[in-house]
Amino acid sequence: MALLVVGSIALDSVITPFGETADALGGAAVFFSLAGVVLHPVQVVGVVGSDFPEAHLGSLARRGVDLAGVERRTGESFRWKARYSYDLASRETLETRLGVFAEFRPQLPPQFRDARFVFLGNIDPELQLSVLDQVRKPGLVACDTMNYWIHSKRDVLLELLRHIDILMVNDSEARELSGDWNVYRAAHWILGRGPRMAVIKQGEHGALLVDSTSTFKVPAYPLQEVFDPTGAGDAFAGGFMGYLARTETCSFQNLRRAMVYGSAMGSFAVEAFGVQRLEQATLPEVHGRVRAFRDLVHFDLDGDAP
Ligand code: AMP
């Protein structure tokens, strides 16, 4: 039951109130795979430039990430630079240099075409569709996007929605896509366009799983130290999909557990700069954090409740 991700592999430069990094390992596919691989093997499809440090790829390979779908092309790697506000709640993108990512045309190696769990990271929806075309018999397809594609390729994105099971976006993206400020109505608008489920990420407020008949909420893990929120959403997706691939079932209860694994992975991502904490995370630590979530939200009804 292979798990496949397509998305950016980047050199990130991030400034937070606590420090900064330059050309650190980043990108949506990287955060996803470092989170997912703790739970299940991950296959990555992406592109890097000639300047991408071999050591960065080495750290992914050492964690067991399958890089057979990562192409190295002549030219500059994708670079992204951002600065966070004092409370880490908002960020400003200072620079996006696409480099070889501009010409990215994902090609799945033959052995990746049997993937059952597929995560289409935030790239051009036309490319997301082309990846989906190359997978023989996907069992569960989840997809991310961003405001840029919502505005510039809305029609293709709406076409893509008809072919996926889960749209996984943050609350502002759900609002922009649906044109509705209410996040629950926005989720139902999404369900009306094709996906069976919508996962709405709400940063430090956790995440929602919405299907046609129910809503489930997982909080964010209550961390006392947050250093760098970059990649939390992609790590969440890696934990969510990794858990589903590991357990091979998408039952109602399992999807809810997957949300908790997603939130646990998101919490590892933000605890240190870049991928530093995530790439150290162990399975027992992840299970431990999942148990802590149960304690965080568990309560008993008192005798008066019906
Ligand atoms: P997140 O914090 O979940 O929004 O993800 C941040 C990651 O997305 C960073 O590691 C960036 O390298 C990557 N990223 C930023 N902008 C883009 C973009 N336009 N396309 C693809 N990946 C991006």
Q: Is pLDDT at 303 greater than 80 in this prediction?
A: no
Average pLDDT (106-129) is 97
Is the pTM higher than 0.95? The answer reads yes
Residue 169 has pLDDT above 70, yes or no: yes
Q: What number is the average pLDDT over the span 75-93?
A: 95
pLDDT value at position 7?
Answer: 98
Q: How far is CA 72 from the centre of its chain?
A: 23
Each as own residue / partner, the long-range contacts of residues 138-143 (CB below 8 Å, 24 or more positions apart, any chain) are: 139/1, 139/250, 140/116, 140/165, 140/166, 140/241, 140/244, 140/250, 141/165, 141/166, 142/118, 142/166, 142/167, 142/168, 142/199, 142/237, 142/240, 142/241, 143/119, 143/167, 143/168
Query: Which residue has the least CA distance to atom 9 on ligand 1?
Result: 27
At 110, the pLDDT band (50, 70, 90 cuts) reads very high
Report the separation in Å between the CA atom of 233 and the middle of ligand 1, taken as the mean of its atom positions. 10
Q: Does residue 304 carry a pLDDT above 90?
A: no
Predicted pLDDT at 1: 87
Alpha-carbon span 293 to 220, nearest angstrom: 9
Using CA atoms, how far apart are residues 65 and 93, in angstroms rounded to an integer?
28
- Whether the CB-CB separation of 47 and 104 falls below 8 Å is answered with yes
Give me the mean pLDDT over the 82-105 stretch.
95
> How far, in Å, from the CA of 7 to the mean position of ligand 1?
9
Q: How confident is the model at residue 56 (pLDDT cuts 50, 70, 90)?
A: very high
Rounded CA-CA distance 170/161 in Å is 16
pLDDT value of position 94: 97
Q: Mind listing the pLDDT tens digit for each residue in 227-268?
A: 999 999 999 999 999 999 999 999 999 999 999 999 999 999
Task: Name the closest-CA residue to atom 6, ligand 1.
Answer: 231
Please give the share of the chain, as a percent, with pLDDT higher than 90. Answer: 96
Residue of 234, 236, 268, 278 with the most ligand 1 atoms within 8 Å of its CB, for mutation: 234
Average pLDDT score over the chain: 96
Tell me, using a 6 A CB cutoff, whether residue 8 lines ligand 1: yes
Which numbered atom of ligand 1 lies nearest the CA of 31? Answer: 10
What is the model's pLDDT at position 302? 81
pLDDT band for 89, please (50, 70, 90 cuts).
confident
pLDDT of residue 135: 98
Per-residue pLDDT band at 306 (split at 50, 70, 90): low
Beta bridge partners of 80: 12, 96
Instruction: Say if CB 42 and CB 7 are below 8 A apart.
Output: no
Question: pLDDT tens for residues 174-206?
Answer: 999 999 999 999 999 999 999 999 999 999 999
- Amino acid symbol at 91: R
